[in-house]
Chains A and B, each alone.
Chain A
Amino acid sequence: MTIDMSQFYQVFFEEAAEHLAEMESLLLELDVEAADKEMLNAIFRAAHSIKGGAGTFGFTDMAQMTHVLESLLDRLRRQELQLTTAMVDAFLDAGDILKAQLAAHQEGGVFENPRIAEVCNRLERLSMLEAEPGAPVSPPPSDVPRQVESAAAPGGDAPDCRVWRIRIHREQAGLKPDTSLEGLVSALAELGPLEPFTEEEDGDCLGWQLTAPVAHADIMDLLDFVCDAAGVRVESMPASAATDEDPGYGFFEPMGETPGDGVPDTDTDPGYGLFEDAPGAVQALDQEHPGYGLFGGSPGMGQVAEQVAREQDETDQGFGFFDGAPGVVPADSSGPSAANAGPPAGGGGTPTPEGGRQPPARRTPAGDTSIRVSVEKVDQLINLVGELVITHAMLAESISALDPVGHQSVFNGLANLERNSRDLQQSVMSIRMMPISFVFNRFPRVVRDTAASLHKKVNLKLVGEDTELDKGLIERLADPLNHLVRNSIDHGIESPDQRRTAGKSETGEIMLRASHQGGNIVVEVSDDGAGLNRDKLLAKAAEKGIALPDNPSSKEVWQLIFAPGFSTAEKVTDISGRGVGMDVVRRNIEQMNGRVEIDSEPGKGTRIIIRLPLTLAILDGMSVRMADEIFILPLTAIRESVQPRRTQVKTVSGKGRVFQVGGDYLPLVELGRLFSSGGRRFPVEEGIVVIVDTNEGRAALLVDELMAQHQVVIKSLETNYRKVEGVSGATIMGDGRVALILDVDELMRLNRRLGSSMATFEVREQAHD
């Protein structure tokens, strides 16, 4: 079975991950006060699909988890319970555990964590305890579930050593007469001293007395794995009266000891009046599942029975074991999967072989028109198309020497080839494009959790989630954005009190906005918090010994937070102290050929703007010549180009040179000198100056000649070589030669390091202020 199934594991992993993501986003959208029924249904469906898959593939831990999750969800969507924030929290935690379990299974392991049991318990408690007020009928005074609950209530909160009396009625509990309970007994014995306890001799009734510091729900959890809650009585007794007959206990005696009542004779037993009012319940039971026990502790009979009937139709009985509310286990062995007494503790509840071998009853989502392709294949395709474009360029270059008149058809063919290969390139590139919502979608959760742990109120607003960008960028954007958002919540948004004093609404707002601007993607993280503190930053810079001009502009001060080791040194919290610092954020963004800008206003908030190229693979650039070498300058960096006059070039303190354009003096970056490409020195007038945007402001780049505009395929130098300063990558030109792609920001840094820096810099400051 394992061999057959393993080939589908990957499909399950991917599907389950998708369902989990969907579930989480739905949960976060859910309005606790007025829960949308459709959304609850969708969440339920997601959980159910995971459960189905997990059951089929034998991931019992996940199946169990979703099962518990699902039973609570089911009650919610049937509006038997009122949704509470605690439930949403529990759902989210359960989702986290499922994710961890999924990841563990993917690596072939099993996720073991006490949290699993804890969350399971929480979910179960929520579905059981809160069932009371929301129960559709007013329970009669002798209502058994209530009796059990009330007995549990004191023990549930303060789990000190208590004496519990556990009685299981074999028939009512849906146990076969020959079912061994050894597993259960040993599990119970782990909790504390356990002694068999039998009242009047009765083969059908089993009893134990357990002395252990556990809550009622814990015991019920154990029992749930084995048998139907209906046939189980768990009562707490005063420790002193452990051996005495509890006077209150007498109430239950008729129940436990009358095997004749075991088969649901609901009309005659006043204790089960609850179910009479649930229309359809009795019929459902009588007609279809005569062996079902009573569903004590689990009101909403009608729904359960109905669900069982429905699910049996739907799922072709594949996962009978997991279906329905806890404790819905067919009593007779003719059921789809017999309720075996699996190991009751932790990882118990293995699906029976019969159940496991059934073909999966997966509901194929309607209208699914997408296919799954591995990213490598797409990348390979993109590479090949890139090669095609290069080959075309080579061809075009070699036939350009031909006489157009005599070779009309060749030229036409080549023009067609060009058009087609461009189209092909664009379509292939679009495969890699994904909406940015893939990154954004995680943030409602991030914001919710971070804000909660900091006791702040934060609203998240997402704008432009449909903006598409390269998948590679999306993946690499996640970490920096995560850090920025956490930073905003931690340092940006003030506490509710401070906000009130400042005259703002208590709830802060964080906005994530994505949009296209020219050939760029712009992603903004803005908050309406306190803004950056200029004085504090300056003091910190002085302390760190970071050189700053005398009267720095705001932009320069804000850029300080990107300095290595600067960001959170003073105010490390568990939120933004860990993970990447702001310098890493900037480095990450710059590695993507992007840039980061900050805008901040005290008291109004901070805005961090990330500009990224549309894709990592292709770049629009201008080829420039420097001596014999061709370089590519990204078009996004180019402002304008000017024919320099000698008078425009000024020397500052003998070595640094600046270039005057308009009223501004820009640092002059001489590519020839930086790259020491040798060659002769020629007068400035013979070159051309390109004004470029860098993250330190504008700069003038002196090159020999502007060649042409290209769309180039970016190749990494680092694949086989290492990072080269001033160069962001390489590309292959039409003639097959390699051209390096310039990185203007690094050129600026290089320029400064190579000596002329300080002087140029100061002049630029004066020019700016």
Chain B
Amino acid sequence: MTETAKDRAIIGSDESREYLTFTLGDEEYGIDILNVQEIRGYDAVTKIANSPDFIKGVINMRGVIVPIIDMRLKFHLGVAEYNQFTVVIILNISGRVVGMVVDGVSDVIALRAEQIRPAPEFGAILDTAYIDGLATLDDRMVIVVDIEKLMSSGEMGLVDQVQSGSA
């Protein structure tokens, strides 16, 4: 009895989740904070041959080789300039560590489920399949991204898909 009551509470409105928001150009994105491992500055990367341009390369993070993705390039938001404010969000996606270059990290916000509105179709730039929805925070609009789904998707090429690439 108590179990079902609890379940209902989660489905209901009280439960909110925390999101880390970051900016890419003029847009603001939010990702589940539980996927964030750490935030660090941008270091020199080692390029990886024949990889998509949004994969900047790999870095050495305390002995672990971590691939770095430029989200601006990925979302086709123009060429990023790297300066001292450029940050890398290190994500932990089901055990795999991936770095994500963004323009800046802005905030940690708590959103309740009903605050996130379904997103309309955007076209081909970013498949809505990876977007949980849009949330409004004051005047800002935050695009809530299902980062786990996005990073493990085939189009990111981060994970070996079946017969990806090689003949």
Chain A residues engaging chain B, CB cutoff 8 angstroms? 383, 386-387, 390, 629, 674-677, 715-727, 730, 732, 736-740, 753
Contact = CB atoms under 8 A, between A and B. Distances in A.
B158 A675 contact: no
A715 B65 contact: yes
B166 A725 contact: yes
A720 B64 contact: yes
17 contacts: A390-B63, A674-B50, A675-B49, A676-B50, A677-B49, A719-B64, A719-B97, A720-B64, A720-B66, A720-B96, A721-B67, A721-B158, A724-B50, A732-B60, A736-B60, A738-B45, A738-B57
Interface residues of B, number: 28
Nearest to B157: A722
A110 B67 CA distance: 45
A730 B60 CA distance: 10
B162 to A, nearest CB: 12
A738 B50 contact: no
A676 B157 CA distance: 19
B59 interface: yes
Nearest to A736: B60
Given A383-B63, A730-B65, A737-B60, A724 B96 contact: no
Contact of A724 (B49, B64, B159): B49
B49 A720 contact: no
B120 interface: no
A386 B63 contact: yes
B145 to A, nearest CB: 19
B117 interface: no
Contact of A675 (B50, B63, B96): B50
A344 B164 CA distance: 58
Given A737-B44, A738-B58, A753-B167, A724 B63 contact: no
Contacts of B45: 738
Nearest to A630: B46
Contacts of B159: 722
B17 interface: no
B98 A720 contact: yes
Contact of A740 (B48, B158, B160): B48
B65 A737 contact: no
Given A629-B46, A722-B157, A738 B60 contact: yes
Interface of B: 44-51, 57-60, 63-67, 96-98, 157-160, 164-167
Nearest to B67: A721
B158 A722 contact: yes
B47 A725 contact: no
Contact of A721 (B47, B65, B165, B167): B65
Given A724-B48, A727-B48, 19 more contacts: A383-B63, A674-B50, A675-B49, A676-B49, A677-B47, A715-B64, A717-B58, A718-B160, A719-B64, A719-B97, A720-B66, A721-B58, A721-B67, A724-B49, A727-B49, A732-B60, A737-B44, A738-B46, A738-B57
Leading 3 A-B pairs by shortest Cβ distance:
A675-B49, A738-B46, A721-B67
Contacts of B48: 721, 724, 727, 740
A404 to B, nearest CB: 29
Main secondary structure of the interface of B (DSSP, over half): loop
Contacts of A722: 157-160, 164
A383 B65 CA distance: 13
Contacts of B59: 738
Contacts of B67: 720-721
A40 B166 CA distance: 55
Contacts of A753: 167
A630 to B, nearest CB: 8
B30 to A, nearest CB: 23
Contacts of A730: 46, 58, 65
Given A675-B50, A753-B167, A387 B65 contact: no
Contacts of A676: 49-50
B49 A723 contact: no
A723 B96 CA distance: 14
Nearest to B44: A737
A720 B166 CA distance: 19
A715 B157 CA distance: 20
B49 A719 contact: no
B44 A674 contact: no
Contact of B65 (A390, A674, A677, A717): A717
Given A675-B49, A677-B49, A727-B49, A719 B63 contact: no
Given A629-B47, A737-B44, A725 B65 contact: no
B65 A716 contact: yes
A746 to B, nearest CB: 9
A143 B138 CA distance: 103
B67 to A, nearest CB: 4
Contacts of B164: 722
Nearest to B57: A738
Given A717-B58, A732-B60, A736-B60, A726 B49 contact: yes
A725 B66 CA distance: 17
Contacts of B60: 732, 736-738
Contacts of B64: 715, 719-720
Contacts of B57: 738
Q: Considering residues B48, B64, B158, B166, which has the most beta carbons from chain A within 10 angstroms of its beta carbon?
A: B48
A704 to B, nearest CB: 15
Contacts of A386: 63
Contacts of A629: 46-47
A670 to B, nearest CB: 12
A657 B25 CA distance: 45
A382 to B, nearest CB: 12
